[in-house]
Amino acid sequence: MEKTTQPPTPRPPHPPLEKPTSLLGPALGMGVTMGPSLVLDLLWASAVTATLLGGRSRGRAFQAASRVGALMPWGWLLVRPWMLCWGATPEEVRRALPGDALVPNPVGGSTRAVTIDAPPEAVWPWLVQMGYRRAGWYSYDWLEQTAGAGGFVEGHSADHVLPHLQGLQVGDVIPMSRWTGMQVMELVPSRVLVLSSAVDEEAPAWGLSSWAFVLEPVAGGRTRLLVRGRSGMEPRRWMQRALAQLIELPHFVMERRMMLGLKARAERAAHALGAATWT
């Protein structure tokens, strides 16, 4: 298995990401991305306030909020580990994966996994065509559209393998939205795709992060898809840490759906090919 670390032929410069002409678009995107976490945080704060005032009030609303405030921290402690390691085994979580070196001392991260009833070669075409203004994210398209990141070539997350999007190479930038993107740092066909938020070695304001997709063949002609995200922020930048916490929940919701969407498409195509072969 040959690891590709440099483009085999000279490549033209990747199209530059757009610069926001106003704060409205990015603000809307951040609102959709982090809104659910902010709402939960506000509910949590309200519950804590209600708990503090509960002794002075006999209202049922305060009593109910007090109970919620007492239970929410424990519920979060139970749910968060499952959320960060959804579908992955303890061994997969501990194991070193490609791309780890891009963020050697992460302050946050997740490892998620799913088994796909199709070989890696059948999964790969769906993986490399993902992206804004590409084949989409196989997730909740309406949320992507609302966030301003839903400009997909088919108008929605693609249900077909698109030949013109199969030539992904190291150094290419996969747009995440009109203004943000991640650069391909490592690519092994049908095996590994590693992305970095540092485009041309320039990290965005919210810090350095990596996103690795690993396809491992398993028995029965199936594939184990491992997806690992790692983030590393400056210790003294509290805003970066706050943003990392706020994005955990919505990122889990979207990434889980993306993995299941990728699985469904690859399996459907592989089964259709198998049926056509036997007829």
The two tokens of residue 105 are 């001392």
User: pLDDT tens, 77-132?
Assistant: 788 899 999 999 999 999 999 999 999 888 889 999 999 999 999 999 999 999 99
Compute the distance between CA of residue 145 and CA of residue 213 in angstroms, rounded to an integer: 24
User: pLDDT tens, 210-220?
Assistant: 999 999 999 99
User: What pLDDT is stored for residue 18 in this prediction?
Assistant: 55
**Does 139 reside within a domain?**
yes
The two tokens of residue 59 are 């209202």
**Does 12 reside within a domain?**
no
Q: Within this chain, do residues 196 and 231 fall inside the same structural domain, yes or no? A: yes
Q: Within this chain, do residues 99 and 234 fall inside the same structural domain, yes or no? A: yes
Q: Within this chain, do residues 60 and 192 fall inside the same structural domain, yes or no? A: no
User: pLDDT tens, 121-143?
Assistant: 999 999 999 999 899 999 988 87
Domain count, the chain: 2
DSSP notation for 105-118: S-SEEEEEEEEESS
Global pTM reads 0.78
The domain spanning residue 237 has which CATH number? 3.30.530.20
User: pLDDT tens, 15-65?
Assistant: 555 554 544 445 555 555 555 545 555 555 555 565 555 555 556 665 665
Last residue of a domain, one of 32, 51, 84: 84
Q: Within this chain, do residues 138 and 52 fall inside the same structural domain, yes or no? A: no
DSSP structural state of residue 100? G
Q: Which domain holds residue 32?
A: 24-84
- Beta strands (DSSP E) in the chain are 108-116, 173-175, 181-188, 192-196, 208-218, 222-232
Compute the distance between CA of residue 237 and CA of residue 242 in angstroms, rounded to an integer: 9
User: pLDDT tens, 226-249?
Assistant: 999 998 766 556 555 666 666 788
User: What pLDDT is stored for residue 9 in this prediction?
Assistant: 45
Last residue of a domain, one of 84, 108, 136: 84
**Does 179 reside within a domain?**
yes
Q: Within this chain, do residues 140 and 268 fall inside the same structural domain, yes or no? A: yes
The two tokens of residue 200 are 């041309």
Q: Give the residue from 170, 98, 158 showing the smallest Cα distance to 133.
A: 158
